[in-house]
Amino acid sequence: MSVVSTIKDRCKACYSCVRQCPVKAIKVKVGQSMVVPERCISCGSCIKACSQNAKEVVTFVPQVEDYLKEGGAIALLAPSFPASIYPLDPGDFFNLLQEAGFNEVHELTIGVELTMPRYREYLAGRKEPAIGSHCAAVVNLIEKHFPDLIQYLIPIDSALMATAKLLRHRNKNCRLIFIGPCIAKKEEVLNSPEGIIDAVLTFKELKELLKDMWETKDVVPAPSFEKSYLPSTFPLTGGLVKNVDPRGNIYREDEVAVVEGKEECVQFLQKLQEGYIKHRLIDMLFCKGGCIDGPEIASDLDVFNRQYQVYQYSRSRKKENLGRLPKLQLDRSFSNKYQPLLSPSEEDIVRVLRYTNKNKPEDELNCGACGYNSCRDKAVAVCQGLAEIEMCLPYLLEQSRGELEYYKKRLKMSDEIKDYLVGDSPYIQGLRQTAIKLGQNDATLLILGESGVGKEVLARAVHMVSPRSEKPFIAINCAALPEQLIESELFGYEEGAFTGARKGGKPGKLDQARGGSLLLDEIAELPLSTQAKLLRVLQERAFERVGGTTAIRLSARIIAATNQDLNRLIGEGKFRSDLFYRLNVISVTVPALLHRKEDIPPLADHFLRELAAENKSPVKLIASEALALFAAYEWPGNVRELKNVIERAFYTADGNIIQVQHLPDYIRQLNGGRKIVRLTPMKKAVRNLEKDLIIKALKETNNNKVDAASMLGMPRATFYLKLKEYNIH
Ligand SMILES: Nc1ncnc2c1ncn2[C@@H]1O[C@H](COP(=O)(O)OP(=O)(O)OP(=O)(O)O)[C@@H](O)[C@H]1O
């Protein structure tokens, strides 16, 4: 089990813990750094690194509080304690512990003294390297990450276990509480046979527990001990070597390696694995400077002064009288806890790198912001499920910059488009958003709506907010050109293409709109032969000039508009259905002004401002009575009609206010808001009805003219005449 876990709410995804973890035991999931128990060696590096205090360690504090209340608790003190308690005097500290309820206080130096003879015995004559096993983090590191080196670990109990075994031997029912700077010791205790040690307190936890008593200054003489210098220096750099071989008569200097610090430990073990290490005794401590820099030492002193405190204490310290020592069983064994990680394939690593825009080696910045030393290491960790793609800071910055630009641009566009596509109605507000969206793609667009509703305005708005805005917007009114001219207008022509063709030829609208947008207004009026050619252009994205053979690539966006019912025209055979489907990739309908009367005041205001600017004259306003008439009117000519009415009123009104009398008669007659009903002239209405009935009959009879004529009770000859008259194919 892991003794460290993450407090989710506090983790801010800074990846400091990932950076500091020496064994890749942190997994980042949805921005939260979680400890992977199988890989964690409880070294506490992540706790030291976390500025948010988001890492939590298993605690025995409530248990200890109970033991202290019940009585009978014994403190086992790590020899680094003088570094932690400073400026408290060690004597005061012992008193404090006793006052707090500890019946006895013992230092782990007992365990050092118990284990050193066993170490000497084991090491005598051993040729192979032997690694001291008193540092719990080092043992975890070897068991979980270098299992083939387990053979080099010295199989003798740590000083803690040896002390505990001795005290337990003396008093079976006592409560043993270890107090030290180390987190890995919690894991060691939790994994040890039940009942040897009851609880572990870190120095930090102890200080918190006794914070109200910590200032006690009553000096009571310390227990009388014999002088004992060496065991107290055990937690310092080289402490094991000094204790095993104080006079240097077992090992030569070159046979001993003192290794400390997480990177150094990992590097040394790698070298040992590779067979480059020839030393016989390896004194390895995971924390730099030894246990005095343990993650929970809770000292304000720097490492040098901590060391000084331990030496000072060791010089004054008296040896504890242990009496006759029993023969204790101090052997220990280790187990292989290695959990291999997946080895990703080169393709997978490259894929992850590409995802964060690292396409070539120069793109790999290796900035370390993700907590990994290199982009490649991070990509491997992503494949192994330990890291997330989004952990790459330069990539995120690039993305957010892109997003910021996008939103800034959209904001600017919304402002610009508001002054262009005027209106307050939900319809127009929606159309403005649609225009911005449509501007981001290149799909062919079909705009539908009655005459004068603003179809061209919408087409221009889409162009304006698109990346094509710097290129031309060309509009061609298909209804305004004679059939013989439309193709040369649209596609252009080569010199000599027809009589009267200009020298050097002429580019068509498709050409002129290169890179920009081309509006085919009144598309329904396009002759069928030109419809077929336009279809080919849309399919092949290329066209030829009239009389030419060179294919020119179509680079304009095509927008078509009509006020006609194309489905009806398809039914009548006047519009190609295949062209309709090509054009109708996206279609937008602009509603008639009648259905969005809220737009009238802002539109009127907009036109008046335009007129004032054009004429360099003061802005005119519309009287509320006139506006009321506008609201009552149905505007069959839509916005165009409104614009014309405003224009007329602008020029006829002398003052600054446009009054009812400046409006055309048919609006003035509305009189107090009564609706005007505009009827279609009888003759036109009858013709429309007749035409619709003929089309319907043809549809019903599957285009059988004889049946359709008899269905309508119409002489066949008249029927044929009517077909011609109404241009029904
Ligand atoms: N929402 C609007 N904001 C500002 N002006 C508008 C708006 N809608 C229409 N107009 C103005 O109304 C007039 C007619 O608009 P437009 O030419 O776009 O209509 P249309 O639907 O394309 O007409 P048609 O079917 O006859 O081609 C133009 O002068 C245009 O500037």
Q: In the 3-class helix/strand/coil scheme, how is 426-479 assigned residue by residue?
A: HHHHHHHHHHHHHHCCCCCEEEECCCCCCHHHHHHHHHHCCCCCCCCEEEEECC
Is there a contact between 102 and 253 (Cβ–Cβ < 8 Å)?
A: no
Ligand 1 atom with the shortest distance to the CA of 431: 1
Residue 165 and residue 268 in one domain: yes
Each residue's pLDDT tens digit, 115-147: 999 999 999 989 899 999 999 999 999 999 999
Give me the helix-helix angle, 262-274 and 136-145, nearest 10°: 40
d(CA 570, CA 695): 11
Going by their DSSP bridges, the two strands 32-35 and 621-622 should be labelled as unpaired
Residue 673 has pLDDT above 60, yes or no: no
Other residues' Cβ atoms within 10 Å of the Cβ of residue 157: 24
In a domain, 242, yes or no: yes
* Ligand 1: centre distance to CA 506 (Å): 30
Ligand 1 atom with the shortest distance to the CA of 562: 25
**Mean pLDDT on 547-570:** 93
Residue 314 and residue 384 in one domain: no
- pLDDT, position 259: 97
- pLDDT, position 224: 39
CA angle at residue 155 from 150 to 159, to 5 degrees?
120
The residue among 316, 303, 319 whose CA lies nearest residue 83 is 303
> With the C-alpha atoms ordered 449, 452, 456, 461, is the resulting torsion angle positive or negative?
negative
Each residue's pLDDT tens digit, 310-347: 998 888 877 666 677 788 999 999 999 999 999 999 99
What's the CATH number where 510 sits? 3.40.50.300
d(CA 1, CA 183): 13
The residue among 6, 15, 56, 12 whose CA lies nearest residue 381 is 15
Each residue's pLDDT tens digit, 177-211: 999 999 999 999 988 877 799 999 999 999 999 98
In a domain, 511, yes or no: yes
In a domain, 334, yes or no: no
Ligand 1 atom with the shortest distance to the CA of 457: 18
Residue nearest to atom 9 of ligand 1 (CA): 454
Residue 150 and residue 69 in one domain: yes
CA angle at residue 384 from 381 to 390, to 5 degrees?
50
In a domain, 335, yes or no: no
Nearest 10 degrees: Cα torsion 303, 305, 311, 315: -170
d(CA 181, CA 42): 12
- For a pocket test of ligand 1, which of 420, 434, 456 has the largest count of ligand atoms closer than 8 A to its C-beta? 456
- pLDDT, position 678: 55
Residue 74 DSSP class: E
Domain boundary among 535, 564, 591: 591
Going by their DSSP bridges, the two strands 621-622 and 4-6 should be labelled as unpaired
262, two tokens = 């997480």
What's the CATH number where 11 sits? 3.30.70.20
In a domain, 628, yes or no: yes
- pLDDT, position 228: 56
Is there a contact between 183 and 42 (Cβ–Cβ < 8 Å)?
A: yes
Residue 518 and residue 562 in one domain: yes
Amino acid of residue 408: K
Residue 521 and residue 663 in one domain: no
d(CA 292, CA 303): 7
- For a pocket test of ligand 1, which of 429, 451, 457 has the largest count of ligand atoms closer than 8 A to its C-beta? 457
CA distances from 11 to 84, 283, 396, 503 (A): 28, 36, 19, 75
The more confident residue out of 510 and 212 is 510
414, two tokens = 């919304």
- pLDDT, position 225: 39
Other residues' Cβ atoms within 10 Å of the Cβ of residue 459: 26
Residue 294 and residue 214 in one domain: yes
**Mean pLDDT on 39-60:** 94
Is there a contact between 535 and 576 (Cβ–Cβ < 8 Å)?
A: yes
**Mean pLDDT on 490-508:** 86
* Ligand 1: centre distance to CA 619 (Å): 22
Residue indicated by tokens 């055990």: 234
Amino acid of residue 506: K
Amino acid of residue 114: L
ipTM over 0.90: yes
- pLDDT, position 322: 67
pLDDT classification of 407: cutoffs 50, 70, 90: confident
Residue 682 has pLDDT above 80, yes or no: no
Query: Range with the lowest mean pLDDT among 294-303, 310-319, 420-429, 649-658?
Result: 310-319
CA distances from 15 to 12, 37, 342, 391, 662 (A): 8, 18, 22, 8, 73
Residue indicated by tokens 């165009």: 640
- For a pocket test of ligand 1, which of 598, 639, 645 has the largest count of ligand atoms closer than 8 A to its C-beta? 639
3 state SS for 479-515: CCCCHHHHHHHHHEECCCCCCCCCCCCEECHHHHCCC
d(CA 39, CA 393): 26
Each residue's pLDDT tens digit, 436-462: 999 989 999 999 999 999 999 999 999
Residue 258 DSSP class: E
Q: Which residues contact 297 (CB under 8 A, 6 or more apart)?
A: 80, 83, 84, 181, 203, 204, 291, 306
Is there a contact between 575 and 524 (Cβ–Cβ < 8 Å)?
A: yes
Residue indicated by tokens 């290794």: 259
Ligand 1 atom with the shortest distance to the CA of 606: 4
In a domain, 676, yes or no: no
What's the CATH number where 599 sits? 1.10.8.60
- pLDDT, position 31: 85
Other residues' Cβ atoms within 10 Å of the Cβ of residue 155: 15
* Residues forming beta bridges with residue 560, ordered by sequence position: 446, 520
- pLDDT, position 679: 58
Residue indicated by tokens 């010089």: 315
SS3 (DSSP) at 251: coil
Other residues' Cβ atoms within 10 Å of the Cβ of residue 14: 16
* Ligand 1: centre distance to CA 558 (Å): 19
Residues with CB under 6 A from ligand 1: 421-423, 428, 449, 451-457, 521, 561, 563, 603, 606, 639-640, 643
Give percent above pLDDT 70 in the chain.
Answer: 96
In a domain, 332, yes or no: no
Residue 572 has pLDDT above 90, yes or no: yes
Residue 146 and residue 245 in one domain: yes
Residue 217 has pLDDT above 70, yes or no: no
Residue 193 DSSP class: P
Residue nearest to atom 7 of ligand 1 (CA): 454
- pLDDT, position 345: 94
* Residues forming beta bridges with residue 657, ordered by sequence position: 621
Other residues' Cβ atoms within 10 Å of the Cβ of residue 134: 28
- pLDDT, position 227: 43
Residue 477 has pLDDT above 80, yes or no: yes
SS3 (DSSP) at 105: strand
Residue nearest to atom 29 of ligand 1 (CA): 640
**Mean pLDDT on 510-534:** 95
d(CA 67, CA 199): 10
Domain boundary among 390, 421, 452: 421
Is there a contact between 537 and 543 (Cβ–Cβ < 8 Å)?
A: yes
CA angle at residue 534 from 522 to 552, to 5 degrees?
125
- pLDDT, position 219: 44
Residue 674 has pLDDT above 60, yes or no: no
Each residue's pLDDT tens digit, 364-396: 999 999 999 999 999 999 999 999 998 998 888
Residue 659 has pLDDT above 50, yes or no: yes
The domain tally of the chain equals 6
Residue 51 and residue 67 in one domain: no
Residue 547 and residue 633 in one domain: no
Ligand 1 atom with the shortest distance to the CA of 642: 12
- Strand ranges (DSSP E) for 30-85? 32-35, 55-57, 73-77
pLDDT classification of 221: cutoffs 50, 70, 90: very low
SS3 (DSSP) at 319: strand
Ligand 1 atom with the shortest distance to the CA of 477: 27
Is there a contact between 461 and 469 (Cβ–Cβ < 8 Å)?
A: no
- pLDDT, position 226: 42
* Ligand 1: centre distance to CA 580 (Å): 23
Domain boundary among 637, 668, 699: 668
Each residue's pLDDT tens digit, 279-291: 999 999 999 999 9
Average pLDDT along the chain: 90
Structural domain span for residue 579? 434-591
> With the C-alpha atoms ordered 699, 702, 707, 711, is the resulting torsion angle positive or negative?
negative
Query: Computed over its alpha carbons, how large is the radius of gyration of the chain?
Result: 45
Query: What are the backbone angles phi and psi of residue 579, rounded to the nearest 5°?
Result: -70, -40
Residue 67 and residue 139 in one domain: yes
Other residues' Cβ atoms within 10 Å of the Cβ of residue 539: 11
Ligand 1 atom with the shortest distance to the CA of 643: 12
Residue 402 has pLDDT above 90, yes or no: no
Residue 110 and residue 72 in one domain: yes
Is there a contact between 717 and 698 (Cβ–Cβ < 8 Å)?
A: no
Each residue's pLDDT tens digit, 222-281: 443 344 578 889 999 999 999 999 998 899 999 999 999 999 999 999 999 999 999 999
In a domain, 330, yes or no: no
Residue 671 has pLDDT above 70, yes or no: no
Residue 417 and residue 468 in one domain: no
Each residue's pLDDT tens digit, 68-101: 999 889 999 999 999 999 999 888 899 999 999 9
